[in-house]
Every structure is written in C-alpha cells, then in structure tokens.
Chain A
C-alpha cells in the first residue's frame, strides 16, 4: 500500500460535491498534456507524426473540456469552463508532474505519452463502469480515442528501443528522466482515497496489474530491460508543481489574462 499524498491547500477544494476536485484534476491533466503536445505542431520529425501529435492533443483537449464543464457544474459557484482553465494560478492546478514535463526530443515525448496513455486507458475503463453517470459517459467517449493513443505510443516505444543505436540511446535517456513521474499517477491523494472509499473513483491498486503487464510487454518487445521502480516523485496532484508549469500557463493563459472576458 503506497502512502497517500498530503494536500497543499484544502480551501480551494471545499465544495458541496466531493467529486469536484477529482474532476478538476482530470481536466487539468488532459489540458496540460494537450498543450504540451500542441507545442509540437509544425515541429514533428515527419509530417505523419506531426499530425498524430496534433490529433492526440485535440482528443485530450476535447476530453478536458468535457471535464471542465462538468467541474464547473459540480462547483456551482458561477465559474464556467474557461474560468477554470484560464484564470487559476499554477498552485491550484492538480495535474500530475508527468504531463507538465517539457517535450524534450521525440523519444522524450513518446516516453511521457506512453506512461500517461497506459494509465489513462485503464483509468477510463474503470470510470466507464463507475457509478457517476456523467463521468462514465465522458470516459466511454474518450476510451475509444485513448485506445488509439496507447497503440501509437506503445509502437513508438518499440520502434525506438529496438531501432538504431541513436534511437535507443535517446529512449534510454528519456526513461531515466521520466520514469520517476509514473508513480504519481497511481498514488492516490487524500481526496482520491476518500473518493475511492466511496466507490466513486476506481481503486488504483486494482488498475496497477494491467498497467504493469502492458509496460512489461512493451519493454520486452522494445528489448529494453525494465527499470528498477524508482522513487516516485509526487506533488503535482497536490499543487506542488515543477517550475515548468508556470511557463506553460503563462503561454496558455496569456490571452485571457491580457484581455479578460475575450471570446471568439
């Protein structure tokens, strides 16, 4: 049993619906990763993979919007989806550290995506069968898309690992840098633990075997030895972020901060 993460602030999550902070966390996670992937647009190694990165970014952005709309309703304080995405400071963001990590090279982006997709796919399967109808319907929709994402990132892990000495060198370096962030995905915060006890959020311990089995399968195909489980770097889901998130939000939120209330 892994320890739960302490919360940085409790005030912003005090709300009528216990689901609000969790749905917001899902929204932040998909939004931040979508933004990172969108930074590749026009810079992909080849046209087809540039398109793939942008497609995945778009799917995640759509998923984030569904969560933000639901979160805004759960909060019931008159904030709308755009207020939640564009007008909260970095310490209020609840995405895990993994998704805010910079793109690096293509191998770096692939490892980050693989770690996320592998967990995301299993999480959506759990949410789809969960008791909250709204979350289940969002998960049902996104699961179909997440299957394509996981297939794509898994195949690229294998190509890079079992490719050339150069691709292997880059993949190894990315694994050494990013593997430490995987543990946060399946380590529940106090909020998540509480919701898991209520049966509203899938038990991460129950998701872990499927996540680990797929990782083992992909690494074996990639001829990459499985890294020893590193120290899990926690913090993002409790609001303790790396320096990267602030820079990311500065760009993501620029327009609303500069021209408050601007709409298309």
Chain B
C-alpha cells in the first residue's frame, strides 16, 4: 500500500532507504555496499537515483531498479526517476569496506584491489592468491575465471577442499 509521506524527501533520507535495498544475487550486500548508486538528487517531490551496472549484461539491473522504486514508493515518494549510467564504468574500488566484510562472512571472497585482468598477454599467469572465506587458508586455486554470475570467479580451497566464489577485481 502506498501511504502519503509525512515529510518531503531529502537526500539523506533517500540514501538511508537505499541502504535497505539489497543486491538480488548477493542478498547480504546492499546496493550501497556494492557501490552501484552513483547519485541521488532531490528537487521538491522529485527524486532521481542514478545507478551503474556492474557488468554490461548484468540481469539484476532491472530487478534493482524495480526494488529501488518499490522501496521509495512504500515511503510515499511517487515522483521517481531511476537513471542508468554506464560511464564512468563501475569498478570494485567502489565497494565499501563493510560490503567486503559482509561478503567474506557470506562465503564469497571479496575482491583484491589491483588484480584486474590488465595484461592479456600474461596467459596462464599466476592466479590471484585468494583467501578461502571458510577456513581462511591461502592455499587455494582458480578453477574458472567465469563463475555463477558475471562478477564472480570460481575457486577451490586446497586445504578444506571447499569450492567458493571470488568476487573478481574489476578496475
């Protein structure tokens, strides 16, 4: 049910509400943890939220836009524009420290900055050393650069043998 909001929207209030919108594929992360909200603008009753996709084909983007809309509508904010912006391109540098800690707790190894695939000629190069999110061992190996979603790679721990996702560095 949409109820009339008691107060006109403010930027601070909108940011607060966006913290409650989670990523549909990694539900422990809010969209703010993930760093995909680029801007919030309030002009009178009008609210504009600008979001940026993690990957070009990310199928979660329309779900995220819908979730933002529903969360704000529930507060009585009805004049909404959700804008998609692809430049500057999203980078894992925008992921918050809190988001990284939540990821590891959830069983997904957080991105390690500065390990993006920049050197394409470095074929079969050393895999990024990723800590196992379960037993914390550093003895792990890359199984595949492409995992269960576009933003993750598949690793396996050589000590506890558990396969796990690694959130790829994307800089």
Kindly identify, within residues 122 to 171 of chain B, every residue whose CB is under 8 Å from any CB belonging to chain A. 123-124, 143-148, 150, 154, 170
A-B pairs with beta carbons under 8 Å apart, 18 shown: A48-B143, A48-B146, A51-B147, A51-B148, A55-B150, A56-B146, A58-B59, A59-B56, A62-B55, A63-B57, A65-B56, A65-B57, A141-B86, A141-B90, A144-B89, A147-B120, A155-B123, A155-B124
Kindly identify, within residues 110 to 145 of chain A, every residue whose CB is under 8 Å from any CB belonging to chain B. 121, 133, 136-138, 140-142, 144-145
Contact string against A for B residues 68-92, beta-carbon threshold 8 Å, 1 for contact and 0 otherwise: 0000000000000000001111100
- Tell me if A144 and B147 are in contact (CB < 8 A): no
Interface of B (DSSP majority class)? loop
B39 at the binding interface (Cβ < 8 Å): no
Q: How far is the CA of A58 from the CA of B118 in the complex (A)?
A: 21
Contact string against A for B residues 89-103, beta-carbon threshold 8 Å, 1 for contact and 0 otherwise: 110000000000000
Q: How far is the CA of A152 from the CA of B145 in the complex (A)?
A: 8
Interface of A (DSSP majority class)? helix
A103 at the binding interface (Cβ < 8 Å): no
Beyond the given A147-B120, A154-B120, could you list 20 further A-B residue pairs with CB under 8 A, ordered by the A residue number? A48-B143, A48-B144, A49-B144, A54-B146, A55-B150, A58-B55, A58-B57, A58-B150, A59-B57, A61-B57, A62-B53, A62-B55, A65-B57, A66-B56, A137-B89, A145-B55, A151-B145, A214-B120, A217-B121, A221-B123
B115 at the binding interface (Cβ < 8 Å): no
**Chain B interface extent, by class:** 20 to 34
Q: How far is the CA of A145 from the CA of B89 in the complex (A)?
A: 11
Nearest CB in chain B to that of A221: its residue: B123
Q: How far is the CA of A6 from the CA of B148 in the complex (A)?
A: 44
- Tell me if B146 and A145 are in contact (CB < 8 A): no
Contact string against A for B residues 35-73, beta-carbon threshold 8 Å, 1 for contact and 0 otherwise: 000000000000000000101111100000000000000
Q: Which residues of B contact A52 (CB under 8 A)?
A: 144-146
A residues near B (Cβ < 8 Å) are 48-49, 51-52, 54-56, 58-63, 65-66, 121, 133, 136-138, 140-142, 144-145, 147-148, 150-152, 154-155, 158, 214, 217-218, 221
Closest Cβ of chain A: how far from B16's Cβ, in Å? 29
Q: How far is the CA of A51 from the CA of B147 in the complex (A)?
A: 6
B residues near A (Cβ < 8 Å) are 53, 55-59, 86-90, 116-118, 120-121, 123-124, 143-148, 150, 154, 170
- Tell me if A62 and B56 are in contact (CB < 8 A): yes
Closest Cβ of chain B: how far from A52's Cβ, in Å? 4
Number of A-B contacts (CB under 8 A): 88
Closest Cβ of chain B: how far from A231's Cβ, in Å? 29
- Tell me if B118 and A147 are in contact (CB < 8 A): yes
Q: How far is the CA of A147 from the CA of B146 in the complex (A)?
A: 13
The 9 closest A-B pairs by CB, nearest first: A62-B57, A62-B56, A137-B87, A58-B57, A52-B146, A48-B144, A55-B146, A141-B89, A147-B117
Q: How far is the CA of A138 from the CA of B85 in the complex (A)?
A: 10
Q: How far is the CA of A60 from the CA of B56 in the complex (A)?
A: 8
Closest Cβ of chain A: how far from B144's Cβ, in Å? 4
- Tell me if B148 and A151 are in contact (CB < 8 A): no
Q: Which residues of A contact B146 (CB under 8 A)?
A: 48, 51-52, 54-56, 148, 152
Q: How far is the CA of A118 from the CA of B26 in the complex (A)?
A: 32
- Tell me if A144 and B170 are in contact (CB < 8 A): yes
Closest Cβ of chain A: how far from B88's Cβ, in Å? 7
- Tell me if A141 and B117 are in contact (CB < 8 A): no
Q: Which residues of A contact B56 (CB under 8 A)?
A: 59, 62-63, 65-66, 141-142, 145
